[in-house]
């Protein structure tokens, strides 16, 4: 009898919970009816929405693309679990979302994996804090400071060249690891002012642990989409974060102990200001707390490392997969550096127009960041007739925006640097292309990334010819912090005679 009574109680409890959840879902759908009644909406499965699609990024992209084609719309709404998200590839709507003050907040759910105590800096911080902190750090990316980084950029590119030389003539090899090793050193040096000796156990361990951090953040991203982010915050995750932050914390304490030292002094031999120097300066001025110094320094370090390494690897893969384009890039680089590359100056960057077109096309088809998202700070008109309630999250699927046939033509998925000829650029809406996002909350380090990437390519293309048996049409992408390859293509390297 007691067993039967217990079962009845369990069933009754389950019914009450289901009815409560159903009522809340009904109320939420009613709250957002001003959006869903105006935009084509993907509801998916009750209580789950289309959440099951986030685990297959290629399938998700195809669904978004098919939805745009079938519904004849560039802006739609999709329910993930019990939350609606607006998605848009309409360049005019993208412009509004990325430039309007009503959309200055970052989308909460899209950046859950950044709220881990070390990366929740200017990438995701609330508007008021973001404005203050970005202003404090912006001198790091001033033109004069980037010019001062050129010796470090050249040294890093030469280091990549020397490592690739060791793989020449031995068949297809994994070059992504080499690129990450070198970019890790560059990020430590330019962002934190720390010189990590290559090949040491410390260097290898930091790279291994950082890769583990990225893997955990991927789980954050998946679980966060279902409101279960706590499942990824394991004790191991916390140990990884502590290990990576310890050098930053030690450096902060060291700098704070030098009370009589000039703010401009750092561990580099020139006048370059590192992020940690600027952050410590802001702390002494009462703008930053010590935790702010740690977070902003680590955020810039991690962002510069992950995006720069991914972009450099993608460009070399695209060169290997498109030999005719590679040859044209090589001939242009050789025309500027006929005797080889030894020291790239800023003026050299202005002389390689086709390489610029190639890089832009590579970042169009394989953007490091696949999504950007904003959140309304108040009830806001998205486009004529569509009012978004306060707190509505709007996502821009950059990957799909860059492949939209209405913008890029019927061959939008093909690799064609001519997409970036001046006359073709002039035909497109300026918000059709945004590998580093757009607007006031764009990627603050895009100039750093663009310049360091090009210098790396100068050295690599001038000295080597790349090839691969992997096919461009067979590439499969997987969701990660940056867009990643399910099977990273291996490359063969051949040293050029001249």
Residue ranges of domains in the chain, CATH in brackets: 32-495 (1.10.630.10)
Report which of 365, 344, 303 is spatially closest to residue 454, judged by C-alpha positions: 344
Q: Which letter does DSSP use for residue 273 in this model?
A: P
Instruction: Note the pLDDT of residue 117.
Output: 65
Q: Does residue 348 carry a pLDDT above 90?
A: yes
> In 48-160, which ranges are E strands?
75-80, 83-88, 105-106
Q: Does residue 323 carry a pLDDT above 60?
A: yes
Average pLDDT over residues 67-96: 79
Q: Which residue has the higher pLDDT, 248 or 374?
A: 374
Supply φ then ψ for residue 75, to 5 degrees: -135, 130
Supply φ then ψ for residue 464, to 5 degrees: -135, 155
A 10 A CB-CB count for 377 gives: 16
- Annotated binding residues: 443
Dihedral of alpha carbons 361, 363, 365, 371, sign: negative
Instruction: Note the pLDDT of residue 224.
Output: 62
Say how far apart CA 59 and CA 73 lie, in whole Å.
19
Max mean pLDDT range (44-48, 92-96, 249-253): 92-96
Q: Which helix (H) or strand (E) holds 11?
A: helix 2-31
Average pLDDT over residues 244-266: 68
Mapped onto helix, strand or coil, the DSSP state of residue 491 is strand
Per-residue pLDDT of 133-158, as tens digits, reads 888 888 998 999 999 999 999 999 99
Least confident of 145-159, 288-302, 329-343, 446-460: 288-302
Say how far apart CA 39 and CA 375 lie, in whole Å.
17
**DSSP strand pairing (41-42 vs 75-80):** parallel
Instruction: Note the pLDDT of residue 469.
Output: 97
Say how far apart CA 146 and CA 138 lie, in whole Å.
11
Q: Does residue 70 carry a pLDDT above 50?
A: no
Q: Does residue 343 carry a pLDDT above 80?
A: yes
Instruction: Note the pLDDT of residue 66.
Output: 54
Least confident of 15-24, 85-94, 126-135, 476-485: 15-24
Per-residue pLDDT of 441-456, as tens digits, reads 888 888 899 999 999 9
Residues 6+ apart with CB under 8 A from 9: none
Per-residue pLDDT of 188-198, as tens digits, reads 888 888 887 76
- Annotated binding residues for heme: 443
């Amino acid at each position: 009898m007691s067993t039967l009574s217990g079962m009845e109680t369990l069933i009754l409890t389950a019914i009450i919970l289901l009815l409560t959840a159903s009522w809340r879902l009904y109320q939420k759908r009613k709250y957002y009816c001003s959006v869903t009644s105006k935009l084509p909406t993907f509801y998916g499965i009750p209580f789950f929405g289309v959440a099951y699609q986030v685990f297959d990024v290629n399938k998700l992209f195809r669904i978004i693309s098919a939805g745009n084609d079938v519904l004849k719309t560039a802006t739609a709404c999709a329910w993930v679990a019990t939350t609606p998200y607006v998605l848009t590839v309409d360049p005019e709507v993208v412009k509004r979302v990325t430039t309007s003050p009503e959309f200055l907040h970052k989308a909460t759910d899209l950046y859950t994996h950044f709220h881990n105590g070390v990366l929740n800096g200017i990438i995701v911080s609330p508007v008021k804090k973001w404005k203050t902190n970005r202003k404090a750090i912006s001198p790091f990316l001033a033109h004069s400071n980037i010019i001062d980084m050129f010796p470090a950029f050249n040294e890093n590119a030469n280091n990549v060249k020397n490592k690739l030389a060791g793989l020449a003539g031995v068949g297809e090899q994994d070059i992504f690891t080499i690129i990450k090793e070198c970019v890790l050193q560059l990020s430590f040096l330019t962002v934190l002012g720390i010189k990590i000796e290559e090949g040491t156990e410390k260097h290898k361990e930091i790279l291994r642990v950082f890769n583990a951090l990225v893997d955990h953040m991927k789980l954050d991203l998946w679980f966060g989409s279902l409101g279960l982010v706590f499942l990824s915050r394991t004790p191991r995750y916390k140990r990884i974060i502590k290990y990576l932050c310890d050098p930053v914390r030690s450096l902060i304490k060291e700098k704070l102990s030098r009370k009589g030292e000039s703010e401009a002094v750092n561990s580099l031999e020139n006048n370059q200001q590192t992020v940690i120097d600027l952050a410590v300066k802001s702390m002494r001025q009462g703008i930053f707390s010590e935790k702010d110094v740690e977070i902003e320094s680590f955020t810039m370090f991690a962002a510069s490392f992950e995006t720069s390494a991914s972009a450099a690897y993608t460009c070399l893969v695209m060169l290997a997969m498109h030999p005719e384009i590679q040859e044209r890039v090589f001939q242009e680089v050789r025309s500027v550096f006929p005797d080889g590359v030894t020291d790239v100056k800023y003026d050299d960057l202005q002389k390689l127009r086709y390489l610029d077109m190639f890089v832009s096309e590579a970042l169009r088809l394989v953007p490091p960041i696949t999504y950007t998202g904003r959140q309304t700070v108040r009830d806001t008109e998205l486009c004529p007739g569509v009012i978004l309630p306060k707190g509505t999250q709007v996502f821009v699927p950059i990957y799909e925006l860059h492949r939209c046939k209405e913008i890029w033509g019927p061959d939008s998925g093909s690799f064609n640097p001519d997409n970036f000829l001046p006359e073709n650029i002039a035909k497109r809406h300026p918000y059709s292309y945004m590998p580093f996002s757009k607007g006031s909350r764009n990627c603050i380090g895009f100039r750093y990334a663009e310049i360091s990437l090009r210098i790396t390519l100068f050295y690599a293309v001038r000295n080597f010819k790349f090839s691969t048996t992997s096919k461009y049409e067979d590439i499969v992408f997987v969701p990660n912090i940056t867009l990643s390859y399910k099977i990273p293509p291996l490359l063969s390297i051949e040293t050029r005679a001249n």
